[in-house]
């Protein structure tokens, strides 16, 4: 499988990465090289093989469903690029 | 080795320094100062991205107090370097990416907090590939790290001049992604360093610098507070000068952590006790699939030498087959980018790190991520986004996860046949030059991890031990792969290789 330039632009959009038109052909070449490399996986018969979903066979532990943290806005906001009181500031999302 | 007044303290290993500190041959402040001086003199290697001398001296003084009372933890007073992937409270942590800007966590990763709990001293943060994505440390936002091993036939003057430049052209890469960790250990800029390994990022740099690196079993070390790359593959581990040092260090790093659901609730063995244990009668597998095209003949010779050493020590050598080996690397280049694209979605310029303003919030995301992520990271996020996108998920991602099951089964069958550990080469070649591969196609760089990546795919422990030099005088390593949670066997077998091979140290030219 290989991707065309429209697909490269669509992937960039999905990944939320701004890509210059000039960079598209180069990126297309690199992505296609990687897709070409992984093509060999199609040689393998995987029928009946379950996908690996857990590296170590163990039950996922769950913590108690209680509040165990919070009330610490100052620490949460300590690295914010823009803030106002106890809020992160972003451009207007809803008109 | 016993420290006399003339001993350069920075040449000691972790275990030697530990023993001498307990005997009060010198103080933690003394050895810490020696490392701080070395770090200052070695800035052209670019191994550290943050130096924390004040913190180091404060911690060392506290350790000396404890040691003087005959107290102290297993790592009391020992100066270490920390890969910039570990969150360190009050110390800038960026995963060597521009997108994290001057991010300064107000929390500590579980692994590093255990080192401080055990008395270790922090010297600073170590350079690495951006988000640990790379095999040469060339993708770091802070520039490449120089391998302390000089290119063959170079003079010290030539190397010094090249290291003074920003592109470091012609010098050798230390490997990646834990290139700063490996270079710092090899150049005596710390006793040992933390590292992380997603596809070979502890083991390949260890092989390139003549150091020891172990990636423990998935789940052995907590991932909490470690910047995530591919969560089902990432594991923390140490890079050290000797096998014994690695055993001591790993004991402090490992252990169950309720904050990481994949961390395993198993007791941590006394790994150091396994160092020097007999390997008589242990069955060592030699997988025929690890003999690949393009592998240098010296690697084959090295492998045979390793086999001979283990045989000599009483191990039984068994030819085995791991038939799905060749599919590990392509499957990895689906699974790892897929997980990375998901993990790295959090870097959006809203809560921390870089923000590039846009007309609306979407444009802000896109501009921030375009400016903040380097080329390799962008490429992997895009591949990951593609293989997870509607219509391609089954063909790529699910197929790769099925192949992962087959890779794991290959190992399980070998272990069910009574194999205790598997011996393989660590890398297809010795260290290459800075700039030599980065301009070429990405696959060429990815092939560096061909022997190491299977271990991450199967979640197994793997250790790389220096085993010799190539014909140009550069270090080469051998890899041992173990059963899940049987790092002890790896330490026992690795010690035999170390005893048979000796130590390989770069001579100082910087």
Averaged pLDDT, groups of 10, chain B, 510 residues long: 69 98 97 98 98 98 97 98 98 98 97 98 98 97 98 96 93 98 98 98 98 98 98 97 98 97 96 98 97 86 97 98 97 97 97 95 97 96 96 95 97 98 96 84 84 98 97 97 98 98 96
Residue A85 covered by a domain: no
CB B292 within 8 A of CB B254: no
Q: In the structure encoding, which two tokens stand for residue B222, read together?
A: 């907590």
A-facing residues of B in 327-346 (CB < 8 A) are 327, 330-331, 333-334, 341, 345
- In A, which residues are within 8 Å of B98 by CB distance? none
If pLDDT is split at 50, 70 and 90, which confidence band does A93 have?
Answer: confident
- The pLDDT tens digits of the residues spanning A37-89 come to 999 999 999 999 999 988 888 888 888 899 988 899 999 999 999 999 999 99
Show Cβ contacts of residue A26 under 8 Å, excluding neighbours closer than 6 positions: none
Cα separation, B377 vs B383, in Å, equals: 10
Show Cβ contacts of residue B494 under 8 Å, excluding neighbours closer than 6 positions: B212, B243, B246, B463, B465, B480
Cα separation, A1 vs A3, in Å, equals: 7
CB A89 within 8 A of CB B356: no
Element (H, E) at B377: helix B375-387
Q: How far is CA B65 from the centre of its chain?
A: 32
What pLDDT sits at residue B4? 57
Interface confidence, given as ipTM, is 0.96
Residue of A nearest to B349 (CA): A81
CB B123 within 8 A of CB B81: yes
What pLDDT sits at residue B439? 64
- In A, which residues are within 8 Å of B369 by CB distance? 15-18
The domain of A37 spans 5-42
Catalytic residue among B63, B140, B177, B492: B177
Interface check for A66 against chain B (CB to CB < 8 A): the answer is no
Inspect the interface and report whether the beta carbons of B353 and A78 lie closer than 8 Å: no
Shortest Cα distance, chain B CAs vs residue A49, angstroms: 6
Residue A33 covered by a domain: yes
What pLDDT sits at residue A62? 84
Inspect the interface and report whether the beta carbons of A37 and B399 lie closer than 8 Å: no
Count of other CB atoms within 10 angstroms of residue B280:
9
> Measuring CA to CA, how many Å separate B158 from each of A84, B146, B163, B168?
54, 14, 9, 11
Count of other CB atoms within 10 angstroms of residue B78:
31
Cα separation, B461 vs B454, in Å, equals: 11
Inspect the interface and report whether the beta carbons of B382 and A17 lie closer than 8 Å: yes
Question: To 10 degrees, the CA torsion angle through B451, B455, B456, B460?
Answer: -160
Cα separation, B123 vs B401, in Å, equals: 40
What pLDDT sits at residue B3? 52
- The total number of structural domains that make up chain A: 1
Please confirm, yes or no, whether B177 is among the known catalytic residues: yes
CB B237 within 8 A of CB B253: yes
Element (H, E) at B123: strand B121-126
| Helical segments of B23-109, H only | 28-41, 53-68
Shortest Cα distance, chain A CAs vs residue B372, angstroms: 10
CB B139 within 8 A of CB B377: yes
Interface check for B353 against chain A (CB to CB < 8 A): the answer is yes
What pLDDT sits at residue B379? 95
Please confirm, yes or no, whether B201 is among the known catalytic residues: yes
A-facing residues of B in 110-169 (CB < 8 A) are none
Residues linked to residue B480 through DSSP beta bridges, in sequence order: B423, B463
Tell me whether residue B363 is exposed, middle or buried, using C-beta atoms within 10 angstroms of its C-beta: 0 to 12, 13 to 18, 19 or more.
middle
Inspect the interface and report whether the beta carbons of A34 and B232 lie closer than 8 Å: no
Residue of A52, A78, A82, A91 to mutate, interface with B, max B Cβ within 10 Å: A52
Catalytic residue among B15, B25, B83, B113: B83
Residues linked to residue B425 through DSSP beta bridges, in sequence order: B478
Interface check for A58 against chain B (CB to CB < 8 A): the answer is yes
Give me the CATH code for the B9-325+407-501 domain, please: 3.90.1300.10
Inspect the interface and report whether the beta carbons of A38 and B408 lie closer than 8 Å: no
- In A, which residues are within 8 Å of B341 by CB distance? 15
Q: In the structure encoding, which two tokens stand for residue B202, read together?
A: 């502890």
């Amino acid at each position: 499988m290989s991707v065309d330039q429209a697909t490269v632009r669509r992937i960039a959009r999905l990944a939320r990465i701004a890509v210059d038109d000039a960079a598209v052909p180069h990126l297309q070449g690199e992505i296609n090289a990687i897709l070409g490399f992984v093509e060999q996986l199609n040689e393998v018969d995987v029928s009946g093989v379950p996908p690996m979903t857990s590296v170590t066979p163990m039950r996922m532990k769950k913590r108690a469903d209680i509040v165990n943290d919070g009330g610490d806005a100052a620490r949460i906001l300590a690295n914010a690029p823009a803030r106002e009181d106890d809020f992160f500031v972003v451009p207007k999302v809803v008109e | 080795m016993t420290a006399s007044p003339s001993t350069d303290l920075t040449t000691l290993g972790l275990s030697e320094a530990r023993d001498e500190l307990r005997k009060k041959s010198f103080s933690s402040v003394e050895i810490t100062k020696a490392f701080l001086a070395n770090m200052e003199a070695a800035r052209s290697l670019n191994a550290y991205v943050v130096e924390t001398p004040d913190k180091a001296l404060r911690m060392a003084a506290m350790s000396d107090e404890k040691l003087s009372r005959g107290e102290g933890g297993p790592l009391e007073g020992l100066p270490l370097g920390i890969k910039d992937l570990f969150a360190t409270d009050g110390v800038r942590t960026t995963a060597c990416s521009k997108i994290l800007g001057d991010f300064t966590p107000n929390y500590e990763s579980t692994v590093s907090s255990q080192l401080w709990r055990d008395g270790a001293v922090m010297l600073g943060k170590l350079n690495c590939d951006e988000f640990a994505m790379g095999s040469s440390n060339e993708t770091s936002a802070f520039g490449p790290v120089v391998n302390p091993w000089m290119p063959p036939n170079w003079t010290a003057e030539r190397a010094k001049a090249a290291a003074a430049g920003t592109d470091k052209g012609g010098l050798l890469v230390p490997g990646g992604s834990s290139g700063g960790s490996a270079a710092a250990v090899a150049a005596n800029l710390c006793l040992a360093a933390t590292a992380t390994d997603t596809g070979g990022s502890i083991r390949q740099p260890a092989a390139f610098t003549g150091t020891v690196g172990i990636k423990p079993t998935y789940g052995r070390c907590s991932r909490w507070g470690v910047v995530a790359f591919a969560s089902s593959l990432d594991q923390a581990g140490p890079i050290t000068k000797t096998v014994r040092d690695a055993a001591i260090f790993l004991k402090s790093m490992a252990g169950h952590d309720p904050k990481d659901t994949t961390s395993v609730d198993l007791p941590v063995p006394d790994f150091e006790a396994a160092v020097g244990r007999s390997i008589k009668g242990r069955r060592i597998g030699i997988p025929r699939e690890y003999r690949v095209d393009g592998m240098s003949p010296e690697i084959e010779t090295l492998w045979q030498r390793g086999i001979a050493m283990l045989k000599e020590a009483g191990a039984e050598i068994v030819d085995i087959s791991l038939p799905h080996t060749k599919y590990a690397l392509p499957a990895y280049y689906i699974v790892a980018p897929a997980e990375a694209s998901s993990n790295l979605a959090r870097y959006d310029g809203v809560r921390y790190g870089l923000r590039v303003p846009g007309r609306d919030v979407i444009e802000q995301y896109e501009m921030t991520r375009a400016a903040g992520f380097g080329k390799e990271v962008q490429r992997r996020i895009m591949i990951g986004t593609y293989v997870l996108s509607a219509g391609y998920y089954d063909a790529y991602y699910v197929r790769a996860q099925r192949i992962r099951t087959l890779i794991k089964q290959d190992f399980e069958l070998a272990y069910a046949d009574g194999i205790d550990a598997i011996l393989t080469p660590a890398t297809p070649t010795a260290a290459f030059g800075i700039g030599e591969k980065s301009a070429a196609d990405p696959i060429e760089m990815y092939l560096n991890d061909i022997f190491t990546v299977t271990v991450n795919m199967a979640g197994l422990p793997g250790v790389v031990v220096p085993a010799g030099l190539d014909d140009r005088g550069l270090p080469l390593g051998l890899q041992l792969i173990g059963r899940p949670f049987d790092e002890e066997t790896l330490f026992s077998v690795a010690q035999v290789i170390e005893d048979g091979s000796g130590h390989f140290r770069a001579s100082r030219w910087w």
